[in-house]
């Protein structure tokens, strides 16, 4: 779904992938962090034929080793599940987080191959020194109209972490929260887990074919 949003979401998540050390990220302001890594990842994706071809194994390794340390994925998942998160058992929460992570990786894997001649420009960053949650706003420029791409970050003991993305005016977590709520309402938490699992298997099979 949301093909244009998918590759932009992939770019947004991948924009966290090349930080050499988490400690270094912790020393940077949120806008400086996103700007530095965005420039690096654009160059890396364009230079890597495997990523451009949607090599899922390479992308999973990239996500696990480089991206996830810079994302508060627990908050992203719990926010997407919404009020039902508190009703989930620890085992269900782990399953939801694992399946949601896989869903995002599989959904965005092929989209990375669409990065060609795009560039990223950033809007003026406005935040107070005491802020613990901020938004870094950017635009992806290429052919056609500029496309909005924003990041929500929070300050943690380990530095700034992303917990939501806005692509084409739609926040990722809010989009999934609506879909997940409908699924939970009709099938329960285990039903959502099973649906995500089946979708991930289908995506995996499609990639393999």
Picking from 2-11, 27-36, 183-192, which range would have the lowest pLDDT averaged per residue? 2-11
Where residue 110 sits, what CATH number does that domain have?
A: 1.10.10.640
The torsion angles phi and psi of 15, rounded to 5 degrees, stand at: -65, -10
Q: What H or E segment, with its residue span, contains residue 120?
A: strand 119-122
Whether the pLDDT of residue 43 is over 50: the answer is yes
Is 138 within the bounds of a domain? Answer: no
201 part of a folded domain: yes
Instruction: Note whether residue 142 is domain-resident.
Output: no
Domain that holds residue 80: 3-116+174-208
Position 122 in a domain: no
Which position has the higher pLDDT, 15 or 152? 152
For residue 135, what is the enclosing H or E element? Answer: strand 133-141
Most confident of 34-43, 108-117, 143-152, 195-204: 195-204
Assess whether pLDDT exceeds 80 at residue 177: yes
Mean pLDDT across 139-167: 86
Buried b (16+ CB within 10 A) or exposed e, 148-165: bbbbbbbeeeebbbbbbb
Task: Provide the number of structural domains found in the chain.
Answer: 1
Whose structure tokens read 């939501």?
Answer: 164
Residue 57 lies in a domain: yes
- How do residues 47-101 score in pLDDT, each as one tens digit? 778 877 777 777 766 666 666 777 888 999 999 999 999 999 999 999 999 999 8
> pTM for the complete prediction?
0.76
35 domain-assigned: yes
Categorize the per-residue pLDDT at 8 as very low, low, confident or very high, splitting at 50, 70 and 90: low
d(CA 184, CA 64): 28
């Amino acid at each position: 779904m949301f093909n244009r949003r998918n590759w932009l979401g992939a770019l947004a998540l991948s924009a966290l992938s090349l930080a050499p050390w988490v400690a270094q990220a912790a020393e940077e302001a949120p806008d400086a962090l996103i700007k530095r890594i965005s420039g690096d990842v654009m160059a890396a994706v364009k230079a890597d034929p495997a990523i451009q071809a949607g090599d899922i194994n390479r992308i999973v390794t990239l996500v696990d080793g480089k991206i996830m340390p810079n994302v508060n994925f627990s908050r992203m998942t719990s926010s997407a599940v919404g009020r039902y998160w508190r009703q989930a058992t620890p085992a269900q929460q782990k399953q939801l987080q694992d399946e949601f992570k896989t869903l995002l990786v599989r959904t965005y894997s092929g989209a990375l191959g669409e990065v060609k001649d795009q560039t990223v420009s950033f809007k003026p960053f406005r935040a107070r020194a005491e802020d613990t949650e901020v938004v870094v706003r950017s635009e992806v420029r290429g052919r056609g109209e500029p496309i909005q791409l924003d990041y929500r970050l929070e300050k943690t003991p380990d530095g700034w972490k992303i917990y939501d993305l806005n692509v084409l005016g739609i926040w990722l977590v809010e989009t999934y929260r609506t879909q997940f709520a409908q699924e939970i309402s009709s099938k329960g938490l285990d039903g959502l887990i099973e649906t995500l699992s089946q979708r991930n298997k289908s995506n995996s099979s499609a990639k393999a074919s």
